Structure 1
Amino acid sequence: MSFFNKVLASVGIGSAKVDTKLERDTVSPGEALRGVVEITGGNTEQKIDDIYLSLNTTYIKESDDKKYTVSGLIDRFRLAETFTLAANERKEIPFTFNLPSDTPLSFGKTKIWVATGLDIKNAVDPTDQDFIRVIPNPLMDSVLNAVSSMGFRLREAECEQAPHRLRRRLPFIQEFEFVPVSGPFRGRLDELEVVFFPQSSGETEILIQVDRRARGLGGFLAEALEMDESYVRFTVTNGDIPYMQQKLQSVIAKYA
C-alpha cells in the first residue's frame, strides 16, 4: 500500500463499509437472533482489529433533579479475530446469539437496536445500526394479558435508571404503568406498575407496585406520605400460565 493510501485509510477515506442483515427483526428475550455481517473493502487494504455486535437501548436517567435520556448497553458480542481486508474485498461473517432474558420489550418509547462495529486502528471505525422488535415470551405475554383482562390499560412503558435496591445486571429496569379503566379495581386503585426480573425463559420474578386511590382525609394524608403504595414481589412460571389471571387478581386484591 502506498504511503498516500495509508494516510487516506487512516482518516476513513476509501475505507471499509459494514452492513448487518438480520434473518428476522422480531424476537423474544432468550431467543436466538441470527444474521450475517457483510464487510466491503474500500480503495485500500485495511487491517480489521475487531468485529463486534452490541445490543442497546435508551433509558431515563435522573441527576440534579433533571431527567435525560442516555444509551444503555444490554450486551456485546465479539464476532471475529484480527484479519486483513483487501481493497474491494467482500467478506461475510454469519452470527447467532441469544437475546439476554432481561432485554427490554418494545413497548411505548422503548427502542432496541443492534449496532455493528469494525475496530480499525487509527481510522474512523465503520458502524451500522439495525432496530429490532422485542416481543414478550409466552410467560411475559400471559402476565400482560392477565393485567389487561382485569380492566387495566397500559398507560406507559419506559426504561428508567434502577434504584440501588432493584439493580441487577443492568443499570436500568423497564416499568409497565397501568391504569384501571374497568373491572374489579376501577375506583380502588390509581395505578399499577409492573416490573419483570426474568430468571429464565420459563420463570420470572415480578415486582408490582399497587397504588391505592385516596379516600377521605386519612387517604389524603396516606397519599401525601406515600403510604398508599404497596410493593409486592412474587414468582411466576410457565405452569402458572393457564391460571395467571386468577393468581394476579388474588395478589393485587390483598393490597387494593
Structure 2
Amino acid sequence: MSFFNKMLASVGIGSAKVDTKLESDKVMPGSEVRGIVEIQGGNTEQHISDIYLTLNTTYIKESDDKKVNVTGQIERYHITEAFTLNANERREIPFSFILPLDTPLSYGRTKVWLATGLDIKNAVDPTDKDYITVIPNELVNAVLHAVSNLGFRMREVECEQAPHRLRKRLPFIQEFEFVPISGSFRGRLDELEIVFFPVSLNQTEILMQVDRKARGLGGFLSEALSMDESNLRLMIHQSDIPNLQQKLQSVIAQYS
C-alpha cells in the first residue's frame, strides 16, 4: 500500500499541498511582507528539498517584431532547509521579507504575485499563487498627486522591457502615461510619461518624457522626426514634498 501511495504521489495524487497566507495583501515597496506557508502532508511520507517564494509580474517584450507578455521575476526567497514531511502531517512555516523598492505598483494592467513552490524529489511539485496589491510610498504618492493637480490624467500604466540605457536590476521598467486635460499644459503637451527609479525610502529618481503638441508646419515636422520629445531626469527627496507641485510645474514648463 505504501509503494502504491508513493506511485500516486509521484504524479500528484495524494501528494503534499501548499497554501501561503499573507498577513496583508496590500503592501508598499520597502516595507515588510509577513505570512505563513501551510503544508499539508499527503498519503505518504515525502522529502521536501526546498521551499521558496518568488515575487513576479508580467511585462511587455518585443520578440520577432511582435509584442508579447512575459513573466518577470522580481525576487526569489528561500524559506527553509530540507525536511521530511510525514503522511497527513501539517506544518506552518512563518516567513518575512522586505518588498524590493523597485517592485512595480498595482496600477493599470500591472499585476504582482507571490508564487510558493515546494521541491519534492520524484514527485509533481505543488505550487500556490497569491496576488498582492503594491501601493506607492509617501514620496511616489506625492508625485502622482502633484501631476494630477497640474491637470494630468493617468491614461495607462504598463511594465515594458527596458532599453539598455535604462536597465537597472530588472529587465523591465514601469511606465506611467499621462495626458493633460486641464490647467496650463492642456493644448501645449500631448502626453507626459514618468518612470520611477527608487534610490531609497526617502529618495527617488524620476525620468520624464515630455511630448510637446505639434504647432504649425514646423511643429508637425518636429513631431514626424520625434523632435517633439524631451527626456529629463529629476531627483526627488522627501523634503521636496511640500513644494513638489511647484517644482514639477517649473521643470515641465521648461520643455513644453
Q: Normalising by the residue count of structure 2, what TM-score does the alignment of the two structures yield?
A: 0.98
TM alignment of 1:142-161, pairs within 5 A: 142-161=142-161
* Structure 2 residue runs without a partner (length 5+): none
Cross-structure match for 2:74? 74
Cross-structure match for 1:175? 175
Cross-structure match for 2:65? 65
Say which SS state the counterpart of residue 131 (structure 1) adopts.
strand
Distance 2:14 2:2 in 1: 13
Say which SS state the counterpart of residue 55 (structure 1) adopts.
strand
Residue 163 (str. 1) matches residue 163 (str. 2):
yes
Distance 1:201 1:23 in 2: 22
Distance 2:214 2:145 in 1: 27
Cross-structure match for 1:219? 219
Q: Is the 8 A contact 2:54 2:77 kept in 1?
A: yes
Deviation at 1:234, TM superposition (A): 1.2
Deviation at 1:6, TM superposition (A): 2.3
Distance 1:201 1:120 in 2: 38
Deviation at 1:160, TM superposition (A): 0.5
Cross-structure match for 1:195? 195
TM alignment of 1:126-137, pairs within 5 A: 126-137=126-137
Amino acid in structure 1 at the alignment position of 2:116 = T
Deviation digits for residues 156-211 of structure 1 (CA, Å, limit 9, x no counterpart)? 00000001110000000000000000011000000000000001111100000000
Amino acid in structure 2 at the alignment position of 1:149 = N
Distance 1:92 1:113 in 2: 20
Cross-structure match for 2:48? 48
Deviation at 1:122, TM superposition (A): 1.8
Which stretch shifts more, 58-67 or 205-214?
Answer: 58-67
Distance 1:45 1:134 in 2: 38
Percent identity of equivalent pairs: 74
Residue 109 (str. 1) matches residue 109 (str. 2):
yes
Amino acid in structure 2 at the alignment position of 1:135 = I
TM alignment of 1:90-101, pairs within 5 A: 90-101=90-101
Deviation at 1:7, TM superposition (A): 1.8
What is the aligned residue count? 256
Cross-structure match for 1:250? 250
Distance 2:19 2:224 in 1: 53
Amino acid in structure 1 at the alignment position of 2:157 = A
Deviation at 1:82, TM superposition (A): 0.3
Say which SS state the counterpart of residue 14 (structure 2) adopts.
coil
Report the aligned-residue RMSD. Answer: 0.9
Cross-structure match for 2:233? 233
Distance 2:51 2:23 in 1: 19
Distance 2:139 2:3 in 1: 59
Deviation at 1:64, TM superposition (A): 2.1
* Structure 1 residue runs without a partner (length 5+): none
Deviation at 1:12, TM superposition (A): 1.6
Distance 2:38 2:64 in 1: 44
Say which SS state the counterpart of residue 251 (structure 1) adopts.
helix
Deviation at 1:247, TM superposition (A): 0.8
Deviation digits for residues 58-112 of structure 1 (CA, Å, limit 9, x no counterpart)? 1111122211111110001000000000000000000111100000000000000
Residue 14 (str. 1) matches residue 14 (str. 2):
yes
Say which SS state the counterpart of residue 8 (structure 1) adopts.
helix
- Structure 1 runs, 4 residues or longer, greater than 3 Å off: none
Q: Normalising by the residue count of structure 1, what TM-score does the alignment of the two structures yield?
A: 0.98
Deviation digits for residues 205-249 of structure 1 (CA, Å, limit 9, x no counterpart)? 000000000001100110000000000001001011111101111
Cross-structure match for 2:205? 205
Distance 1:124 1:2 in 2: 18
